Amino acid sequence: MSSQFSSLKEMQTAIEEVLPPQCELTKCEIEGPQVVLYLKNIRAFYDDRNLITKLATRVRKKITLRSDSSVLLPPEAAMEKIKTLVPPDAGITEIKFDVAFNEVVIEALKPGVVIGKGGLVLKSIVLETGWNPRVLRAPTSPSEVVKAIRSSLLHAGEDRKKFLVNLGKKMLSSSTDCEWIKITALGGFREVGRSCTLLQTPKSNILVDCGLNVDSSDPTRMYPYLKAMNLALDQIDAVILTHAHLDHSGFLPFLYAYGYEGPLYCTPATRDLTVLLQQDCINVMNSEGKGAPYSEKDIKKMLNHTITREYGEVTDVTPDVRFTFYNAGHILGSSQVHLHVGEGLHNLVITGDFKYGRTKLLDPADTRFPRIETLLMESTYGGSHDLQPSMEEGAAKIARVVRQAMERRGKVLIPVFSVGRAQELMLILEEQFREEDGIKVYIDGMCKEASAIHTVYPEYLRHNIQRRILQNDSPFEKPLFSHVVSKNRKDIAESDDPAVILASSGMLTGGTSVEFLKMLSHDERNALIFVGYQSATSLGRKIQMGSKEVPIINDKNKLDTLKVNLQVESADAFSGHSDRNQLISYVRALHSRPSRILTIHGDEVKCDDLARSLSRIQRVDARAPMNLDTVRLK
C-alpha cells in the first residue's frame, strides 16, 4: 500500500543498495505518487535492463529517471540535437524545455515516431542531451484549450514541482492499519447531478467527484452538501475525478478557491475536457446573470494541482488507500475507480457514469477488477422500462427523420453534449450521409474543441477510430461538417437549404441549442431529435414529454412562451449511459462478485427499482442510499 519507509533518507538508502554506484545518484525525490532519481551517468543505468523493475519492487512505487542538471546540454544545443535524432516524418510542432523537471516537452503529430521502435529514439535523446523527453500528441486540428493547458503547465513548472514534492513527503508512512471505512453521500444519490462521494478512514478523507446540478438554479439543489463533511476543505487529502461532465467536475474549482490545496487525480483526457467544460460553465453562468461560484484563476489552480493517471496504473493516494482507473465507456477518458483500502481490508468500485454496450466511439466498460466487496453503480436508466434500441435502429431512425426533413426543406436540430454525444453523432452522420446527398451538417458550441481533444488521445477510442486518426483521416474533420460562427446562426436557421445542426447543450438548459430552438420551433418543416438523457426539470424533458408551449427566456431577458410546432423525436440508442439490461449484464459480468451494491446517479424511483432487482437477481445486499446518508463499509 504505502511506502514501507518512514523517511526519504531511509528510502534513498534502500535504493542505493540496489543501484550500481557508477550511476552516480545525486538526488532522490518523491513527487506525489512517484519516486524520481537524478543520475549523473544514466548510461550506466541502461546497462541493466531489469534495474528499473528491481528498484520499483524495492520501494513499491513507480520510478522515474532524470539526468542531474550538471550533465544537461544547454536548451539551444539540445534542441538542435533532438531535431537530428527524431525522423522528419514525426511532424514535430513544438519543442520546449521544462527546467523544473529537467524534461524536454516534444509535441508531434506522430508521437510513435518520436518514441521510436522499442523506445530507441527516446533513449538516444536522453543519452545525447541529458534531457528526459515527455512526448505529447498534437491535435489534428487547432485546439486553443490544449494549447493553453500545455502552456499553463509549463509556466507553472516550479510551483508544480514544490506541490508534488510536498505531497510526496505526506505519503511517507510505514503504517497502513485501518480500523474502519465509511462513505458519505454528498450529492448524486437518488438524483442526477452534483455527484460527490466522501470516502473516509481513520487516516484519509477522499472525495470522488464534485459536480454541479446544471439543471437547477436553486443553490440548495445545485451544489454538493460539502458542509455535511464536517471537515474544512484543507482536511481533504485528495480528489479523484471519474470524468469531465459538469455534474461530476463542475464544482471542483470551488474547492481550490476556498482552501483545498491537494491533488486532483484523473486521466489526461479528462483533465483537458474538464477545463474546456468549466470555462464554458463560467461563461454561461455569467451571461445568464447567475454569477459563477468560481473564476478562471481557480480553474488554473485546479489544473496545476492535477495529477494524471492512465487506465490500469495503480496509485497510492494516501498511506492507506490506493486506486486504479478502468475504462468506463461513457466519454473520452471516463473512468471507473477501483479503491483498495488498507492491506486488503476492503475493495470498492465507484463506476461513475458508464456504458456497458457497443458505441461507435468507445469500447464497453471494463468488468475485470482484482476484488470488489462494495460496488457504487450509476442507475440513470435503471427503471424496469428503460430499454434502449440497438445502435443500428437508432442510426436508421436518425437517417429517416433527417431525410424526411430534407424532403420538406427543413432543418434538424440535435441537442448534444459537446463531449461524447457530439462525436458519436458525427460518426453516425458520416456513416449515413455523404456530401453528394446535398445535406449540410453544422457543428456548434464547444463541439469543435471537444473533437480536437479527441484527436489528442486516440488511445482511448475504439480501435478503428484510433487507426483513422493515426492515419490522418480523422472522422471529425470531414467536408460533410461545417463549424458555425456565431454571426451565421440566423443565416443558417433562415436559409432554405436543409441542414442538420448539432448544438450544445444536450438538455436544452442553455447554450446554442436553445438559440437554434427559438429560431426553428415555429416551423413544422423542422425537426428536433433528442439523443441523450433529459433530466426531470429540463426544458428538453418538457418538450420530449409532448409540451407544445414551453417557458423560455427571450432576447430581452424576459420570460416568454415558445410554441413547439416542429417534429419531436427521441433516438435513445446513443446515450452514454447503460440501459436497464446493460446495467444488469454489467453486474453479472463482473470478474469479482460484490457482496454489497449501492445504486446512485439516477432518479429516486430508478435507483430503488434497480436495487430491488439486483437484490433478487444477484442475491446481494443492494440498496439506494439518499443524499447525506453515511454507510459504514467495514
| Whole-angstrom distance, CA of residue 190 vs CA of residue 187 | 9
pLDDT value, residue 190: 96
Cell of 295: 473564476
Q: How far is CA 375 from CA 129, 370, 546, 580, 600, in A?
A: 48, 13, 37, 17, 10
Q: Is the pLDDT of residue 1 over 70?
A: no
pLDDT value, residue 175: 61
At residue 524 the predicted structure's pLDDT band, cuts being 50, 70 and 90, is very high
At residue 290 the predicted structure's pLDDT band, cuts being 50, 70 and 90, is confident
Burial class (CB in 10 A: 0-12, 13-18, 19+), 88: exposed
pLDDT value, residue 343: 86
Could you tell me if 357 and 579 are in contact, meaning their C-beta atoms sit under 8 angstroms apart? yes
481 strand-pairing partners: 441
| Whole-angstrom distance, CA of residue 583 vs CA of residue 589 | 10
| Whole-angstrom distance, CA of residue 378 vs CA of residue 245 | 14
Could you name the CATH architecture of 401-574?
A: 3-Layer(aba) Sandwich (3.40)
At residue 176 the predicted structure's pLDDT band, cuts being 50, 70 and 90, is low
With CA atoms as reference, report the closest residue to 349 among 177, 208, 191, 180: 208
**Share in percent of the chain as helix, strand, coil (round to 5):** 40, 20, 40
pLDDT value, residue 418: 87
Task: Say which CATH superfamily domain 90-158 falls into.
Answer: K homology (KH) domain (3.30.300.20)
CA triplet 117, 119, 123: central angle to 5 degrees? 130
Would you say the C-alpha torsion 505, 510, 512, 515 has a positive or negative sign? Answer: positive
Least confident range of 26-35, 284-293, 331-340, 536-545: 284-293
pLDDT value, residue 138: 95
Instruction: Provide the 3-class DSSP secondary structure of residue 156.
Output: coil
pTM for the predicted model, two decimal places = 0.93
Which pLDDT tens digit goes with each residue over 399-413?
A: 999 999 999 999 999
Per domain, the residue ranges of the chain are 90-158, 173-385+577-629, 401-574
Which pLDDT tens digit goes with each residue over 242-254?
A: 999 999 999 999 9
DSSP string of 424-469, one letter each residue: HHHHHHHHH--GGGT-EEEE-TTHHHHHHHHHH-GGGS-HHHHHHH
Q: Is the pLDDT of residue 35 over 80?
A: yes
At residue 215 the predicted structure's pLDDT band, cuts being 50, 70 and 90, is confident
Q: How many CA atoms lie within 13 A of 570 on its CB side?
A: 15
The end-to-end CA distance of the chain, in Å, is 18
Least confident range of 129-138, 268-277, 285-294: 285-294
- For the segment 1-19, the average pLDDT, to the nearest whole number, is 82
pLDDT value, residue 536: 78
With CA atoms as reference, report the closest residue to 279 among 488, 474, 422, 450: 450
Torsion on CA atoms 447, 449, 450, 453, rounded to nearest 10:
150
Mean residue pLDDT across the chain: 92
pLDDT value, residue 283: 86
Q: Is the pLDDT of residue 486 over 90?
A: no
Least confident range of 88-97, 211-220, 584-593: 211-220
Q: How far is CA 450 from CA 144, 244, 460, 464, 573, in A?
A: 11, 11, 14, 19, 21
- For the segment 367-373, the average pLDDT, to the nearest whole number, is 96
Least confident range of 111-115, 517-521, 537-541, 580-584: 537-541
Cell of 176: 497502513
CA triplet 110, 116, 117: central angle to 5 degrees? 125
| Whole-angstrom distance, CA of residue 130 vs CA of residue 66 | 8
| Whole-angstrom distance, CA of residue 165 vs CA of residue 39 | 18
Least confident range of 262-266, 422-426, 436-440, 497-501: 436-440
At residue 174 the predicted structure's pLDDT band, cuts being 50, 70 and 90, is low
Percent of the chain past pLDDT 90, that is, above it, reads 77
Q: How far is CA 552 from CA 221, 473, 500, 501, in A?
A: 21, 41, 23, 20
DSSP string of 490-515, one letter each residue: HHHHH-SS-EEEEES-TTSSSSHHHH
Q: Is the pLDDT of residue 6 over 80?
A: no
DSSP string of 96-154, one letter each residue: EEETTTTEEEEEES-HHHHH-GGGHHHHHHHHHH-PEEEEEEPPSS--HHHHHHHHHHH
pLDDT value, residue 445: 78
Burial class (CB in 10 A: 0-12, 13-18, 19+), 50: exposed
pLDDT value, residue 509: 80
What is the enclosing helix (H) or strand (E) of 403? helix 391-407
At residue 3 the predicted structure's pLDDT band, cuts being 50, 70 and 90, is low
pLDDT value, residue 436: 64
At residue 472 the predicted structure's pLDDT band, cuts being 50, 70 and 90, is confident
Phi, psi (degrees; rounded to nearest 5) at 2? -85, 180
Cell of 609: 427499482
Q: Look up the CATH number of domain 173-385+577-629.
A: 3.60.15.10
DSSP string of 11-39, one letter each residue: HHHHHHHHS-GGG-EEEEEEETTEEEEEE
- Quick count: other Cβ atoms within 10 Å of Cβ 559? 8
Percent of the chain past pLDDT 70, that is, above it, reads 98
With CA atoms as reference, report the closest residue to 242 among 353, 132, 324, 321: 353
Q: Is the pLDDT of residue 628 over 60?
A: yes
Q: How far is CA 96 from CA 110, 133, 295, 306, in A?
A: 17, 10, 28, 20
What is the enclosing helix (H) or strand (E) of 264? strand 264-266
Task: Output 176 or 62, whichever has higher pLDDT.
Answer: 62
Q: How far is CA 379 from CA 27, 82, 596, in A?
A: 49, 51, 15
